[in-house]
Amino acid sequence: MRIGIVCPYSFDVPGGVQNHVMDLAEALIGLGHEVSVLAPADEDSPLPSYVVSAGRAVPLPYNGSVARIAFGPVSTARVRRWITRGEFDVLHVHEPLTPSLSMLAVLCARGPVVATFHTAMTRSRVLSAAQGVLQILLERITARIAVSALARKVQVEHMDGGAVEIPNGVAVAKFAGVEPLPGWPGECGPGTGGTLGFLGRFTEPRKGFPILRDAFVALAPDRPGLRLLVAGPGDAEDLYEQFPAELRERVSFLGMVSEADKPRMLRSLHLYVAPNTGGESFGMILTEALAAGTTVVASDLDAFRRVLDGGRAGRLFPTGDAAALRTALVELLDDADRRAALTACGDQVVASFDWPVVARRVLEVYAAAIEATDGRVMDQEWAGLG
C-alpha cells in the first residue's frame, strides 16, 4: 500500500506525536508498505529517509502551550505537491484539528483520509468559533482513530462520530536487552537495597511525585541502600530540597533523558513507580517500563489498570496513598520471585503493544477507509494483513 502520513509538529523537537509517527512509519515499512511522512523541519536538520520536509516550523502559542507548526500559503502549496506526487492509496493525518499541515492535508485530500486523535482536546478555540469549518474538515475524514479511551470519548460525545480505539505502540525491540547505566541498579535483597525510579515532570502535581517522595522518605531510614533515580525536566535544586539532608545522597537526578537513554534508565531500576494522581489517558511510560523488563508499581487509575491488565502485570496501589505505596514497595523489593512473576506477565502484555501488532490494526483501518471510498473490499493479502 502507498501510505502518506502527515505529522503536524516539527521533528526538530521531541514529542509524543512525533515519536508515534516515526515508530508507526517504521513499523509499516517493516511490513512491506511504501510510506512517506510529511512534517515541518528545518532545512538542514537530519531526517530519516522516509520524511519529506514541509519547511521550517514557526513557534505559535496554541491551546495553552507553544507548538512548532507550519501553516500558510507556502505550506499549502507544498502539501498539495506532496499529495499529487505521492499518489497515495490512503492519507493518514495526525491531530487534524490543530491549524497545521494536517489540517491543510485534509483540505487538499481527494482520496480516503484516516485521522488519528492523540489528545483529549475537545476542539480548538479557533475552531469553536467556526462550527461550519469544523464540519467541512470532519466530513473529509473517512475513518478516525483515537489512541486512548479518553480521546475516543471526546470524539463520540463532542464531535458526533465514532472512532476506533488503537493504543499507542511501543518499540519493544528498542527497550529489551539494553545495558543499564553503569553502577545501576545495584543490590536488592530482603530488608536491604533496591532502586526506585521516576521519569517525568516532578514539579507537576498530577504526576504525583510527592507521594513517591513521602514513601521514600518513610522507607529509606529502615532500609539501608535504598536509592531513588529521577529523570525529567526540572531543576536539581528543586528536587533535592524536597528531601531531608541525610537522604539526599541516595537520590540521583539525571535531568532530561534522550529517547535513546530512556530504555537504559528504565533498565537501571528494580521498581518503576508511577504515582500519578490523574489526567493520564493512556500510560505510555508504563508500557515502556514493561518493555524494558522493569517491574511497575502504579496508582490505581483506570488507564493504568488497563495497561497493567488489572494488576497482573504490575502492582497497583490506591491513588494518592503514600503509606500504601510504601507497603507495596517493601513487599516487592523483598521478593525477587514476585517481581519476576510480574515481569513475565508484563512481557505478554507488552507484546500486544508492540508496533508491528499495532501497525496491523492501523492497516485494517486504512483498508476500511479505502473500501468505503471505492466500495470494493480488499483481500487480507492485498492489504498486507494476511
Partner 1 sequence: MPGMWWVVGAVLVVALGAAYLIWTAGRVERLQTRAESAARALDAHLLRRAAAAAVLAERRYGVELYAAARIALDAVPEEREAAENDLTRQLRTVALDPDDPACEAVIAASRRLALARQVHTDLVRDARAARGRPLVRLLRMGRGHDWPRYFDIDDPTLSLPADVPTG
Binding interface with partner 1 (CB under 8 A): 135-136, 138-139, 142-144, 148-150, 152-153, 160-162, 164-165, 167, 302, 306-307, 309, 348-349, 351-352, 357, 361, 364-365, 367-369, 371-377, 380, 385
At residue 41, what is the residue type?
Answer: A
| Nearest-approach distance from CB 185 to partner 1, in angstroms | 28
| Nearest-approach distance from CB 351 to partner 1, in angstroms | 7
Residues 3/23, Cβ–Cβ less than 8 Å: no
Is the CB of 142 or the CB of 276 nearer to partner 1? 142
Residues 329/275, Cβ–Cβ less than 8 Å: no
Give me the numbers of helices (H) and strands (E) for the chain, helices first please: 15, 17
| Nearest-approach distance from CB 75 to partner 1, in angstroms | 23
- Alpha carbons 332 and 223: distance in angstroms, whole number: 13
The three three-digit cell numbers of residue 210, written as one number: 510527592
Distances (CA, A) of 148 to 117, 205, 260, 281, 347: 9, 22, 25, 6, 21
Is the CB of 18 or the CB of 148 nearer to partner 1? 148
Distances (CA, A) of 160 to 124, 152, 157: 16, 11, 6
Is the CB of 271 or the CB of 367 nearer to partner 1? 367
Is the CB of 172 or the CB of 265 nearer to partner 1? 172
Owner of C-alpha cell 473490499: 377
| Nearest-approach distance from CB 160 to partner 1, in angstroms | 7
Is the CB of 19 or the CB of 352 nearer to partner 1? 352
Q: DSSP class of residue 5?
A: E
Is the CB of 292 or the CB of 369 nearer to partner 1? 369
The three three-digit cell numbers of residue 42, written as one number: 528545518
Helices (H), the chain: 16-30, 73-86, 101-108, 125-128, 131-138, 149-158, 172-175, 209-219, 236-240, 262-267, 284-291, 302-307, 322-334, 336-351, 355-374
Q: DSSP class of residue 310?
A: G
| Nearest-approach distance from CB 373 to partner 1, in angstroms | 6
Is the CB of 140 or the CB of 262 nearer to partner 1? 140
The three three-digit cell numbers of residue 377, written as one number: 473490499
Is the CB of 271 or the CB of 368 nearer to partner 1? 368
A 10 A CB-CB count for 87 gives 10
DSSP 81-144: HHHHHH--SEEEEESTTSTTHHHHHHHH--S-EEEEE-S-----HHHHT-HHHHHHHHTT--EE
| Nearest-approach distance from CB 300 to partner 1, in angstroms | 15
Residues 59/71, Cβ–Cβ less than 8 Å: no
| Nearest-approach distance from CB 271 to partner 1, in angstroms | 22
- Alpha carbons 124 and 60: distance in angstroms, whole number: 14
Is the CB of 149 or the CB of 176 nearer to partner 1? 149
Q: Strand pairing partners for 36? A: 4
| Nearest-approach distance from CB 372 to partner 1, in angstroms | 4
Is the CB of 7 or the CB of 288 nearer to partner 1? 288
| Nearest-approach distance from CB 364 to partner 1, in angstroms | 6
| Nearest-approach distance from CB 96 to partner 1, in angstroms | 14
- Alpha carbons 270 and 59: distance in angstroms, whole number: 40
